[in-house]
Amino acid sequence: MKYWMAVWLVLAASVTAAPREQRPAGNFDFYVLSLSWSPTFCLTHPDNEQCSGKGYGFVLHGLWPQYAKGGWPSACDSRSPLSDAELAKGALIFPTRALLKHEWSKHGTCSGLDATRYLDATDAALASVQIPQQLQPFNVPNYLQAAEIEALFRQSNPAMGNRSVAVICKGKVLSEVRVCLSKELRFAGCPRSVKTQCRSGDIRIPVQR
């Protein structure tokens, strides 16, 4: 009896740990455009080339295919490297070449687009979001609440609506802003899986000088 109970527990654990079934590349529901607050990243990665005194504020983290019920496809074709021309194109959009390669391998290959079209879509998504003047580098207050950051993005992007943006923190420090977009790159309401993840109260906004 003990033997069969042990076998059942092992099988149950393996089922619980099984990853979500991944759909084919291009079969997803919406995009998340992730904008990283570079000074926070640089607090823990001071030697990264992104942090070499360039004075970045928000930078592109990535354009991520997502499932409406939660989760996302990942690394759909790891054998699809970027060409030299694509690397040059992506270098105009991403803060570092290493991030570009990572984002293409993990997220871009699941978009159903070739690399050039994915980079075009990423560039268009980035251009569609106006960064609030109050959150430009060297012009930010030291502290804001997450709701105030959301409101600033909505004010600067009237088409965004009330449910298209989420603020992400590390502890009580601003880390990212995530914007939900349709597959046609229009502002879309975020599902429950994409929501603000910050403690209540003021959030520190580091500034890189």
For 143-201, the pLDDT digits (tens) are 999 999 999 999 999 999 899 999 999 999 999 999 999 999 999 999 999 999 999 99
Reply yes or no on whether the pLDDT at 126 is more than 80: yes
Whole-number Å distance between alpha carbons of 175 and 116? 28
Residues serving a catalytic function are 61, 103, 107
* pLDDT for residue 80: 81
Cβ-contact 86, 54 below 8 angstroms: no
* pLDDT for residue 8: 38
For 96-112, the pLDDT digits (tens) are 999 999 999 999 999 99
- The CATH number of domain 25-204, selected from 2.40.110.10, 3.30.413.10, 3.40.50.300, 3.90.730.10: 3.90.730.10
**Is the alpha carbon torsion for 162, 165, 167, 168 positive or negative?**
positive
* pLDDT for residue 32: 98
* pLDDT for residue 69: 94
Region 26-49: mean pLDDT is 94
Q: Could you identify the residue written with the tokens 């992104």?
A: 50
**3-state class (DSSP) for residue 1:** coil
Q: Where are the domains of the chain?
A: 25-204
Cβ-contact 145, 202 below 8 angstroms: yes
